[in-house]
Amino acid sequence: MGSKRVFAISSQRRGFGRVAVFLVVVAIGAAGCGRSGQGAATDSDKAADVEVLNALLAQELTTVDAYQQALAQLRGRPLAVAGQLRGQDQTHLDAITRAIRGVGGETDAEAAELEARGPKDGEEALLLAYEEENASLSEALDAAPHLNTSAPRTLAAALAASHAQHLVALRQLLGEGLAASVPEAFEAGDVPPPVPPGEKG
């Protein structure tokens, strides 16, 4: 049993690492797409992309803030996993920033104010992270078809895949088994969090 758990955690870490590397590669490609020709100041398509990317950036900032609150209430394995997820979302921030600059734009985004003043325990902390990961997935899915240039569009798709993976990890931390944690065929960022064991009928 112990060896299986170690293997699962190691596989999860390798998966997170692959996503981080892919996002960096996509960001480098996005950063290069504005080096020739017109930038956002004179190209309406790129200007529109900057607006969409800044909306993505604002949601990612909000998600990182949510983890900042959540980590203070977590211990042990949940703390370790949530720390990895926050690191992934920080990588998202860097990638989106590069994409905005790549199309000749400027970052203009702020995190939304979180509804709660802060989680009171580990369960509330994980639920807060889950809520913002769901919102980030929804934002990325909404952004992809509205982006005009290929590199930012690819980045939005990669962000959606990353957030869907994060939701799987959070479902398991909230008490769901592996099978119940598997994402829907088409995740849209609206799947509710698992019901806490004590509240199940």
Per-residue pLDDT, 15: 58
Per-residue pLDDT tens over the stretch 159-175: 999 999 999 999 999 99
23-29+40-192 CATH, one of 1.20.1260.10, 3.40.50.11540, 3.40.50.360, 1.10.3720.10: 1.20.1260.10
Per-residue pLDDT, 8: 47
For the residues 104-112, what does the mean pLDDT come to? Answer: 96
The residue extents of the domains of the chain are 23-29+40-192
Per-residue pLDDT tens over the stretch 47-98: 999 999 999 999 999 999 999 999 999 999 999 999 999 999 999 999 999 9
pTM recorded for the entire structure = 0.80
| Contact yes or no for 167/117 (Cβ under 8 A) | no
For the residues 113-120, what does the mean pLDDT come to? Answer: 85
Per-residue pLDDT, 35: 47
The rounded distance, in Å, linking the Cα atoms of 74 and 77 is 8
Q: In this prediction, what percent of the chain has a pLDDT beyond 70?
A: 78
For the residues 134-147, what does the mean pLDDT come to? Answer: 97
Asked whether residue 13 carries a pLDDT value surpassing 60, the answer given is no
Residue among 24, 13, 168 nearest 93 (CA): 24
Q: What separation in angstroms does the CA of 130 have from each of 29, 40, 66, 72?
A: 30, 34, 9, 16
The owner of tokens 């930038």 is: 39
- Region of poorest pLDDT, from 49-58, 122-131, 158-167, 191-200: 191-200
The rounded distance, in Å, linking the Cα atoms of 108 and 131 is 23
Average pLDDT of every residue of the chain: 86
